[in-house]
Amino acid sequence: MIGVFDSGYGGLTIFKYIEESLPDYDYIYLGDNARAPYGDHSQEIIYQYTKQAVDYLFAQGCDLIILACNTASAMALRKIQQKYLPKYYPGKKVLGVIRPLAEAVGQISNSSIIAVMGTNSTVESGTYINEFADISKSIKVVQQACPLLVPIIEESREDHPETELILKGYIEPLKKQNPDIVVLGCTHYGFLEGKIKKQFGKQTQVLNSGEVVAQKLSEYLEKHSILVKKSSDRKRVFLTSNSSEKFDKAAQKFLGRTIKSQTINF
């Protein structure tokens, strides 16, 4: 079974493409909506929250967990991979979303100007700058923290007039840098992908994080097929730490089907 974890709804933008690309697995999606957004918390708090989610998903039978959350990937993934898993879950795997996106950009161009839109924590961590530096020293990274976007999405206010103005305020400084590629450094931002593309214009490529992560996961599972077994049941479980009714409404909007989630307490 594969677990997909996010601080809220944003990971659904990743799960949608993973499910389409790899339908023959059982999945549990967990959104920690009650404590979203993660981007305003300290590194230690983000690590503790992520660790709780990892514990919960492994207890439900997951063999592999995708941190479909840029903030958790930036602030907690390395510590979980290097210290927590070897001690408590040897043989289990937790993967993030930042490295796959960096690799995808490197395959497009190794001398581009890359604009990264992310949460405060992701931008301040410098994780994207470090990952791109590993890919190519010729890549220039410009970043913009967008702290208001996650609350807008969590409250389903994507189509409100003020959202366009808020986006413009974040995007204009990046446009002045003439970026070749834009990376949405928070999975929540996938809900605003169309609006973001429109504001940047056709000359700038906005990377689809869901497609990239799904492709990289497919390649990973081809190399590690023994890690997760395929399932004829194709079980789908959706969990939230907040209102299931609110979660279901957001999930239906993006997944295009009715789901019934369960509310859990850590």
Which among 136, 138, 131 is positioned nearest to 116, based on CA atoms?
Answer: 131
Q: What is the CA radius of gyration of the chain?
A: 17
Is 62 a residue of the active site?
A: no
Rounded to 5 degrees, φ, ψ at 133 are -65, -35
Q: Which of 69, 80, 171, 192 is catalytic?
A: 69
Long-range contact set of residues 202-208: C-beta below 8 Å, sequence gap at least 24: 204/115, 204/175, 204/179, 204/180, 205/108, 205/180, 205/181, 206/181, 206/182, 207/101, 207/104, 207/105, 207/181, 207/182, 207/183, 208/17
Catalytic site residue from 57, 65, 66, 186: 186
Catalytically annotated residues: 69, 186
